[in-house]
């Protein structure tokens, strides 16, 4: 029987472009988490501080109770609230795993796999640069790559849809030709097209057999996304901006995605994402966690991936360069494009305390403006 303890301190930490959290218990246990409102870490930090008033003195093991209390404490939800709640939830699961001396996945039904297949981000301003990046990822052992099929710095300046679409087709075709069928290619539109455009392009890309077609439009309407899914013979992947299980419910009911993309640091932490994954399983939909954040987010994703039967792929952005490479005492093990599921307790990671001196690197507002002066989506 594990003795009881109480939460005595909560410390949100702005670290480079990310927001980490430490929850301290009276018995010396420290839980680590991360909040995932990409680019809006300062207000999320403030929300964590507001929520801390409730958590101090509470039993850290009552994870679902605390989740429900904090979630229902306001009529007004949104990404800031859910980002803060997600960070807290992850840290509480880390505490529970550490206090019970088991990995988190053991508390979520046990391990369903020993390693996690990842896709690597690749890119380039030109077609040749994109191909070179994709080939290098393949040489590094990755069996799946994801990329945007247009110039990421000038996409918002296009005047002709035909020219834009032709360029996308040429880039996807070049990557497929360079990699063959041994590597899956994942195409990310980043919400830059309207439904008609994305349907037209999707039909042209079918010949290259993409693994998925991500965010072909703004995620505002599951019904319209469902129309795209019906008319494109490419699996749709979406959901990274969603914050609650109820948004995913609408997406699944609309049959708008073959793959859902929960961000564990935004959609309610491990508690929320586990519920989302269970709903998706009932629809025969696989899970590809969104992961643009720090190694803490990656470690959290692995715990989910290891505990669900309907895991698809894991987003991986690389963690071999500073500052990411400096955050953990021992980096997560990556072999031939697969992350090894760790055996360590909790999240299975230890923070390098010296690295936490990294100053904040806040997001700068940089919403693109089109050639005609109109605002474009980021």
Give the CA angle between residues 201, 206, 210 to the nearest 5°.
Answer: 100
Alpha helices by DSSP H, the chain: 41-55, 63-71, 79-100, 104-107, 127-139, 161-179, 195-205, 222-231, 245-253, 269-282, 295-305, 324-327
Q: Round to whole Å and give the CA distance between 6 and 224.
A: 47
How many CB atoms within 10 Å of residue 283? 17
Four-residue CA torsion sign, 142, 164, 254, 249:
positive
Catalytic residue among 61, 158, 190, 284: 190
Cβ 272 vs Cβ 248: under 8 Å: no
Q: Which of 38, 121, 156, 290 is catalytic?
A: 290
190 carries an active-site annotation: yes
DSSP state of 155: G
With beta carbons less than 8 A apart as the criterion, state whether 159 and 153 touch.
no
Q: Catalytic site residue 290?
A: yes
How many Cα atoms occupy the beta-carbon half-sphere of 170 within 13 Å? 11
Tell me the β-bridge partners of 18.
15
CA distance 367 to 375: 7
Show which residues are catalytic. 190, 290
């Amino acid at each position: 029987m594990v003795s009881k303890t109480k939460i005595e301190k909560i410390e949100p930490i702005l670290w480079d472009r990310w927001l980490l959290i430490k929850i301290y218990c009276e018995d010396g246990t420290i839980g680590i988490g991360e909040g995932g409102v990409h680019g809006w870490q300062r207000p999320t930090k403030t929300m964590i501080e507001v929520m801390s008033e409730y958590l101090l003195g509470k039993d850290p093991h009552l994870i679902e109770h605390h989740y429900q209390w904090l979630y229902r404490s306001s009529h007004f939800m949104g990404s800031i609230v859910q980002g803060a709640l997600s960070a807290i939830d992850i840290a509480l699961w880390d505490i529970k795993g550490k206090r019970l001396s088991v990995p988190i996945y053991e508390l979520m039904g046990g391990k369903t796999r020993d390693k996690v297949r990842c896709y690597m981000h690749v890119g380039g301003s030109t077609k040749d640069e994109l191909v070179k990046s994709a080939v290098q990822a393949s040489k590094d052992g990755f069996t799946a790559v994801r990329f945007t099929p247009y110039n990421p710095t000038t996409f918002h300046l296009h005047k002709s849809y035909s020219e834009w679409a032709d360029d996308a087709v040429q880039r996807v075709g070049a990557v497929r030709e360079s990699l063959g069928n041994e590597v899956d290619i994942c195409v990310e539109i980043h919400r830059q097209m309207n439904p008609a455009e994305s349907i037209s392009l999707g039909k042209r890309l079918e010949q290259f057999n993409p693994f998925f077609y991500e965010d072909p439009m703004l995620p505002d309407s599951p019904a319209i996304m469902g129309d795209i899914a019906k008319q494109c013979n490419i699996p749709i992947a979406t959901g990274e901006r969603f914050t609650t299980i109820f948004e995913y419910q609408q997406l699944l009911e609309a049959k708008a995605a073959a793959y859902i993309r929960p961000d564990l640091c935004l959609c309610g932490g491990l508690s929320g994402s586990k519920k989302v994954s269970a709903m998706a399983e009932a629809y025969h939909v696989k899970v590809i966690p969104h992961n643009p954040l720090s190694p803490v987010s990656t470690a959290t994703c692995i715990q989910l991936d290891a505990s669900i039967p309907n895991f698809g792929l894991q987003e991986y952005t690389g963690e071999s360069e500073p500052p990411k490479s400096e955050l953990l005492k021992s980096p997560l093990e990556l072999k031939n494009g697969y992350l090894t599921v760790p055996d360590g307790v909790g999240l299975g990671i230890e923070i390098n305390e010296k690295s936490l001196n990294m100053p904040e690197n806040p997001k700068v507002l940089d919403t693109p403006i089109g050639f005609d002066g109109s605002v474009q989506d980021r």
